[in-house]
Amino acid sequence: MSSEEFRQQEAELDELYRDIIIDHYRHPRHKGRLTAPSASHEGLNPLCGDEVTVEVVLDGTDLGEIGYTGSGCSISQSSASMMAEAVAGKSVAEAHRLIADFTAMMRGDEGIDPDALGDLEALSGVRKFPVRIKCATLAWHTLAQALKEASA
């Protein structure tokens, strides 16, 4: 493959990733409050003003329901939507695994299987802008805390 073909493929992938992020920002999944959450945790990023509150309902060892509310930049809100969609209906253990894999991807750790992350890989481009990594990981850290509180 020539370097021009590689650049073209990279540009097309960047466009696809942008489309996924914009779609989640404009059409958020699982956004809203839950009727009777097992736990709720609020996360803030004071540097840029992002806010997210994650609510969960545990059904034994499974994540029965997840919802979030919040405001902020397109990265933080898209990430919250993508996170909620990715963990909905999973076991708590699977949710913790996704949290670990996503945060490892955002740190640039090697050995993360992008196929296992699905559309979440679209947020990997945020690593090019280190100050925005906290925007992308805010909802994930907040989910981890909500799960911890629900399991306590």
Query: Which residue segments constitute the domains of the chain, with CATH numbers given?
Result: 3-151 (3.90.1010.10)
Give the residue from 11, 32, 8 showing the smallest Cα distance to 125: 11
Q: Mean pLDDT throughout 108-133?
A: 86
- Classify burial at 95, counting beta carbons within 10 Å of its beta carbon; exposed 0-12, middle 13-18, buried 19 or more: buried
The percent of residues above 70 in pLDDT, for the chain, comes to 89
Q: Can you list the alpha helix ranges (DSSP code H) found in the chain?
A: 3-26, 74-87, 92-107, 114-117, 133-151
Across the range 49-73, mean pLDDT stands at: 95
Average of per-residue pLDDT across 91-108: 94
Q: What pLDDT does residue 84 have?
A: 97
pLDDT computed for residue 13 by the predictor: 52
Q: What is the per-residue pLDDT for 6?
A: 53
Q: List C-alpha distances in Å: 49 to 22, 31, 70, 144.
A: 19, 18, 10, 20
Task: Return d(Cα 148, Cα 137) in angstroms, integer.
Answer: 17
Q: For the chain, what is the mean pLDDT?
A: 89
The pLDDT value given to residue 9 = 55
Q: Could you tell me what percent of the chain has a pLDDT over 90?
A: 65
Closest CA to 74 of 15, 14, 138, 10: 138
**Count of all residues that appear for the chain in the document:** 152
- In this prediction, residues 90-94 reach a mean pLDDT of 96
For residue 85, the model assigns a pLDDT of 96
